[in-house]
Every structure is written in C-alpha cells, then in structure tokens.
C-alpha cells in the first residue's frame, strides 16, 4: 500500500521530505523494522520511540511518524517524516488503513472495570463458542484466536497489534472479538479507532493510582471507552453499554454516552437481576430474571463476585442474540478460571482443608475475595498476600487492614517487588494489619510463607493465597524467576 494511502486520515499532520512509496510493514519497535517500513514513534512509560529513530532508519524504515521535532531533526533529509500531535492516534489510523479496515466486519465486545474483566471475558467467550461462533479473545492471561492460545504482554495491546489480530481474524473467518480493556490502554489510546459494539463495565475501585494519580482520573480513563462508542454510532453499528447497576459510577457513564443502556445487578433496579442467590463449596446458583430471561443459573465457580461476572456475560450474550438455552449450558460447563478463586481441596497430614488461589491485588478485590471465602468457610481463614512494587503505595495499608479484618491469621509476604525493597513494602502493609490485629506473621520469602500457611491450617480451614493468581513468575529488582503459587502448593502437599 502506498504511504499516501496509509496516512490519508491522520489528524493535524504535516509532511517533511515526502516521497510516496509502497509500505510493507508498520512497526513501533525498531527491532521489528523491515525494509520499506513505516516507523511510528510512541512515547511509553519507560521508552520513547523517538530515541530509536536511528535504529529504525538503519533497519530499513523509509518513513517516520513523529511528534518531537527536535529528535526527528537529524533525519529530516534521510527519510519521509510525518509530524502529528498524537502519534498514538496516528498509529491507529495508519494501522486501520494498512490492514484494510478489518474492524468493519467484526463484532467487538470490550470489558472494562477494576475487577472481573478476565472472568467476564472468558465467560462471554465460552458462551459464543457454545453457540458455534468462532471467536478471538485478548486478555490479561492470554490471547486466543479460534481456540489457539498465545502469550500476551499487556492486558490491552497496542492498536497496531489489535488491528493485526483483527486482520488475521478476517482471513480465518472469525467475526467476534472479546477484549479486556484496561485503563492504561484507554489512557494511552491503544484502542482508539476501534468501534466497540458492546462495552461492559464491571466496577470501579482503587487501583493504578501510581499511574492515574487519583480516582477521578482513573474513572475518566474508563469512561473513554463509552464516549468512544459514540464515534461509531450509525446505521451499521448501534453500540450497547452493559453496565453494573450496583456500582456508584454507573450513573455518570449513562450521562456521558449516547449508546443504548442495558444494566445488570443484584441490589439496585436492573434490566437483568440475580435473585435467590445460593453459594456453597460446590458453586453458585441463582435466578436470573429480566429482559424476557427467567431461569436458574448454576455455576461451578465460587465467589459472590462471580454472580456479577456471569450476569454481565449473560447480558452481553443476550444483546448479541444468543439463545437462552445455549447461554445456560455454556455457563454450567465453565470450570473455575486459573488463578481466579481457584479452589483446591487438599488432604495434608490427615487434615482436610481448602486452598484458594486468586489474583486479587486491589483493596476491593481482596475484600470481595475474603468475604466470599467467609461465606463458605467452616473454620479459620488464613490469608497469604503481598503488594506489588512500583505500583500504588496508598493501597498497601488499606489491604493490610482488610486482610486482618476478614482473616483469622494473616501472613504478609512478597508479591512482585520489582525495583522496591520487599521489606519496605511489607512494612507498609503491616501498618494496616496492626490497626486490626496482632495475629500476623511476616515471611518475605513467598514460598516459605505459603508453606507456613499450609502447615498452620487445620481441617475445615481455608487458606487464601492472593495477589498473583495465574502468574507464573516473580519480578525482583535484578531478576525475574519462575514462580507459580499453585505449583508451590502442590510441591508442599506432596512432601
């Protein structure tokens, strides 16, 4: 495709040393440059693409989209330059043109919120697959295209990667994409230009304040998804916002979008409601009622929050026209998601108890997890958790207090300390724990902390290991090691 065609829809752009030629590749990473590439300079949290223009040119880039005039200056006579105010948006526009607008023939379902994105996206995916619809899923745990899984780095990849995936979907005859949409991805315009048919809002609670600085900025990032839907409202697309009626920020979303609204909930009035909820060690059952849908739902999943996740999935599926019986059968067949209230029943040294592994790493997530465990625990609740380094520090004592309030024993340990001193993070968590209880243990080594919890447990107890869930690594200042909470548990109980 000619460069002029690739950049024809860029906003507020100007050209330098322009020479029209055939573009064969678009890249934001100079290591992925091929001959006749277009290089787009993206400013990220840790790197600035402008610093790699030379590497891109040396690798064969023939044109560069940039915003920093000073950093492009040395190359203005070497390659074609396209200056724009916003290279994130420019990347989206250029990628859509280069890949022949795959979004025009794909149904796109986005899920945003602090907690529940992964579980809700997986439930929607399972319902669509049960309906014999070929799907793709982009999420925290993996990217899945027609059942084939691959690793993902970010919850929400760059617009270039998303559009590449959509182009590949079209080639394979896949016309439904389910995406987790993070606040970082929204704030950095990684989904700019992507027309969502359905956008699901799960909830909003404290997280990522290291990045967003305050809750209002965090909410405004989430809100961008619903405002963006209005850009694509036309005869071809009639977007629907599927919203949690029980979240206090939902009314603000309703005020700020022109999309159709469909609500779900438990406490407040909603278009789809859950009633007669029963939760036990075997799973969840409830009556789902509303929008012509009235039936008992039975889940193998645990945790009150999965009532909300499943309601959101039902709502999205109904709006996609999926048959009621298919929805019911799909939900009944879904096994617990790895690292999301993953319940292991163990027999260790003659003691029978449960171990729950969960990704809860926010105050609200940990609170909901521990409340759910309390509902089914017959005896003690022993909680093992830490907090990630280089992330929101203000939530550490809050999570410490929550753990102490809802546990009989708290074991404070390390999570992913990254560049921070693990002992300092633990001290900040301990400050919150101490306000509630003196019954806690500090064990920086996460494997030893899990071992202490397992050995502390008696029959009927629940051991909760929170924070890392599905992750199979632990990040330190100078290294990243393999670490899987489930593997550690299996190793300990097999001894």
Is the CB of residue 301 less than 8 Å from the CB of residue 284?
Answer: yes
Average pLDDT, the chain: 93
CB 369 within 8 A of CB 341: yes
Query: Phi then psi for 425, rounded to 5 degrees?
Result: -60, -45
Q: State yes or no: pLDDT of 481 exceeds 90.
A: yes
Angle at 101 between CA 162 and CA 222, to 5 degrees: 45
Alpha helices in 99-214, H assignment, sequence order: 117-130, 159-171, 183-187, 209-212
Of 481, 417, 405, 407, which is closest to residue 444 (Cα–Cα)? 417
Answer yes or no: do 76 and 123 share one domain.
Answer: no
Each residue of 309-326: pLDDT tens digit? 999 999 999 999 999 999
Checking if the pLDDT of 33 tops 80, the result is yes
How big is the chain by its Cα radius of gyration, in Å? 24
Boundary-marking domain end, from 301, 333, 365? 333
What tens digit of pLDDT does each residue of 188-243 get? Answer: 888 988 999 999 999 998 666 666 678 888 888 899 999 988 877 775 788 999 99
Is the same domain home to 153 and 231?
yes
Mean pLDDT, residues 103-125 taken together: 94
Q: In which region does residue 129 sit, left (phi positive, over 0), alpha (psi from -120 to 50) or beta (all else)?
A: alpha
Mean pLDDT of 359-378: 93
Q: What is the CATH number of the domain that holds 193?
A: 3.40.1190.10
> Do 366 and 302 share a domain, yes or no?
no
- pTM (2 decimals)? 0.86
Which CATH number is 358's domain given? 3.90.190.20
Domain tally, the chain: 3
Q: State residue 421's pLDDT score.
A: 97
CB atoms under 10 Å from CB of 121, counted, come to: 30
Q: Across residues 454-474, what is the average pLDDT?
A: 96
d(CA 361, CA 413): 13
Could you say which of 333, 363, 398 is where a domain stops? 333
State the DSSP code for 407: -
Q: Are residues 68 and 127 in the same domain?
A: no
Residue 438 — very low, low, confident or very high, per pLDDT cuts 50/70/90?
confident
Of all residues in the chain, the percent with pLDDT exceeding 90 is: 82
Instruction: Write out the residue range of the structural domain in which residue 13 sits.
Output: 3-98
Output the pLDDT for position 64: 97
């Amino acid at each position: 495709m000619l460069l002029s065609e690739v950049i024809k829809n860029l906003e507020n752009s100007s050209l330098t040393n322009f020479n029209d030629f055939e573009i064969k590749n678009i890249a934001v990473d100079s290591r992925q440059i091929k001959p006749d590439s277009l290089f787009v300079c993206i400013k990220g949290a840790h790197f600035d693409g402008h610093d790699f223009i030379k590497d891109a040119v040396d690798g064969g880039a023939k044109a560069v989209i940039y915003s920093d005039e000073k950093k492009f200056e040395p190359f203005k006579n070497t390659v074609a330059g396209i200056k724009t105010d916003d290279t994130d948006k420019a990347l989206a526009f250029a990628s859509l043109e280069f890949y022949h607008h795959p979004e025009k023939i794909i149904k796109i379902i986005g899920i945003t919120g602090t907690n529940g994105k992964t579980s809700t996206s997986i439930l929607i995916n399972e319902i669509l697959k049960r309906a014999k619809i070929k799907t793709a899923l982009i999420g925290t745990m993996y990217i899945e295209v027609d059942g084939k899984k691959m690793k993902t780095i970010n919850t929400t990849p760059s617009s270039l990667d998303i559009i590449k995936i959509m182009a590949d979907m079209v080639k394979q005859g896949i016309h439904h994409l389910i995406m987790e949409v993070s606040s970082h991805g929204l704030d950095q315009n990684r989904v700019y230009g992507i027309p969502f048919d359905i956008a699901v809002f799960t909830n909003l609670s404290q997280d990522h304040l290291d990045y967003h600085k305050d809750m209002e900025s965090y909410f405004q990032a989430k809100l961008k998804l619903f405002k963006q839907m209005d850009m694509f409202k036309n005869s071809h697309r009639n977007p629907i916002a599927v919203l949690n009626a029980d979240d206090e920020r939902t009314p603000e979303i309703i005020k700020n979008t022109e999309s159709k609204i469909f609500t779900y909930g438990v406490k407040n009035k909603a278009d789809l409601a859950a009633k007669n909820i029963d939760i036990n060690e075997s799973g969840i059952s409830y009556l789902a009622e509303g929008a012509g849908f009235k039936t008992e739902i039975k889940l193998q999943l645990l945790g009150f929050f999965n009532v909300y996740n499943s309601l959101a999935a039902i709502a999205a599926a109904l709006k996609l026209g999926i048959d009621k019986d298919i929805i019911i059968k799909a939900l009944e067949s879904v096994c617990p998601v790895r690292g999301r209230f993953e319940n292991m029943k163990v027999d260790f040294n003659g003691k029978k108890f449960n171990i729950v592994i969960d990704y809860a790493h926010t105050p609200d997530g940990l609170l909901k997890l521990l409340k759910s465990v309390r509902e089914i625990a017959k005896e003690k609740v022993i909680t093992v958790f830490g907090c990630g380094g280089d992330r929101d520090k203000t939530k550490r004592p809050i999570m410490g207090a929550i753990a102490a309030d809802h546990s009989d024993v708290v074991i404070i340990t390390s999570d992913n300390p990254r560049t921070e001193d693990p002992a300092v993070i633990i001290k900040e968590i301990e400050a919150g724990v101490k306000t509630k209880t003196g019954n806690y243990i500090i064990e920086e080594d996460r494997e030893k902390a899990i071992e202490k919890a397992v050995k502390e447990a008696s029959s009927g107890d629940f051991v909760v290991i929170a924070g890392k869930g599905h992750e199979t690594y632990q990040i330190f200042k100078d290294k990243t090691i393999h670490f899987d909470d489930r593997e550690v548990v299996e190793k300990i109980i097999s001894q």
